[in-house]
């Protein structure tokens, strides 16, 4: 599967998951946010990822999210579901559920403490069938991540790299035949200049247009994103939700402390 056409090009959003004042899933509000972001230039949507508080979601909540978002956004915008898990068995089950619920593809976080991730991704890719699989390297969340030399051996259409390592990013661009997406805001301009397929960003919940301009190399947009990232660093996900709510009227509740 590596080397096939990318699921999308440009700016993807690591979509926030909306919860009501009781902490219950608000799939409708999540889907409505996705539509607004597509109107502002987002070309791919990832639900139930790290920013989407996936670790707190029940299996039925994941399925509802995929169904609602896929139904709401334009058919030309692919919806990918996060299906990474600590075990291959769990990741396979989540992938089955996501595809059955209408996901166009899956983004799969590497398992923690795995000495060899190849069997894990082979099982998920077999389960996904023709739907594209993106590997997901995020060692801060699930160490040690994916060795860069292993990427080309994985049966995946692409990879999201949120490690924030510029040297690794440049090596990936040079050696990985699949579609590469950056997840670290600081590397968005470099990824665009180096020829990556796009970026999948938490900040795209707030300002997709600035993300797109930064990916295209616009210095002003790059400085704007850097300032937003600094402001969010202390407040984390709760602060991002507050800022998105101020712009789009979405709920602010979080499940992740």
121 tagged catalytic: no
User: Alpha-carbon distance 182 to 155, whole Å?
Assistant: 19
What is the DSSP track for the chain?
A: -TTS--S--EEEEEPPPPB-TTS-B-HHHHHHHHHHHHHTT--EEEESSTTTTGGG--HHHHHHHHHHHHHHS-TTS-EEEE---SSHHHHHHHHHHHHHTT-SEEEEEPPTT-S--HHHHHHHHHHHTTS-EEEEE-TTTSTT---GGGGGGS--SEEEE-S--HHHHHHHHHH--SEEEE--GGGHHHHHHHT-SEEEESGGGT-HHHHHHHHTT-HHHHHHHHHHHHHHHHHHHHHHHHHHHHHH------S--
Q: What's CA 37's distance to the chain center, in Å?
A: 14
> What residues are paired with 134 via a beta bridge?
107, 158
Angle of helix 219-248 relative to helix 27-39, nearest 10 degrees, comes to: 140
160 tagged catalytic: yes
Could you say which of 120, 121, 136, 181 is catalytic? 136
Backbone angles phi, psi at 61, to 5 degrees: -70, -40
Active centre residues (catalytic): 136, 160
């Amino acid at each position: 599967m590596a080397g096939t056409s990318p699921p999308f090009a440009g700016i993807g959003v690591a979509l926030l998951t909306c919860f009501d004042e009781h902490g219950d899933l608000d799939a409708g509000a999540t889907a409505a946010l996705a539509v607004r972001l597509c109107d502002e230039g987002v070309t791919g949507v990832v639900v139930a990822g790290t920013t989407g508080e996936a670790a707190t979601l029940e299996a039925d909540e994941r399925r509802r999210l995929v169904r609602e978002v896929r139904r709401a956004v334009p058919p030309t915008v692919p919806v990918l579901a996060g299906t990474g898990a600590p075990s291959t068995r769990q990741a396979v089950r989540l992938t089955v559920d996501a595809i059955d619920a209408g996901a166009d593809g899956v983004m799969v976080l590497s398992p923690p403490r795995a000495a060899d991730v190849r069997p894990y991704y082979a099982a998920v890719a077999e389960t996904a069938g023709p739907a594209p699989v993106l590997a997901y390297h995020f060692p801060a969340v699930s160490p040690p991540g994916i060795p860069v030399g292993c990427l080309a051996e994985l049966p995946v259409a692409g990879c999201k790299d949120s490690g924030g390592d510029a040297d690794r990013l440049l090596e990936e661009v040079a050696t990985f035949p699949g579609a590469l997406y950056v997840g670290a805001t600081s590397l968005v301009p470099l990824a665009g200049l180096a020829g990556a397929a796009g970026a999948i960003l938490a900040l795209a919940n707030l300002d997709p247009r600035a993300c797109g301009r930064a990916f295209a190399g616009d210095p002003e947009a790059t400085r704007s994103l850097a300032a937003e990232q600094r402001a969010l660093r202390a407040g984390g996900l709760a602060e991002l939700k507050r800022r998105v709510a101020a712009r789009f009227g979405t709920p602010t509740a979080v499940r992740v402390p």
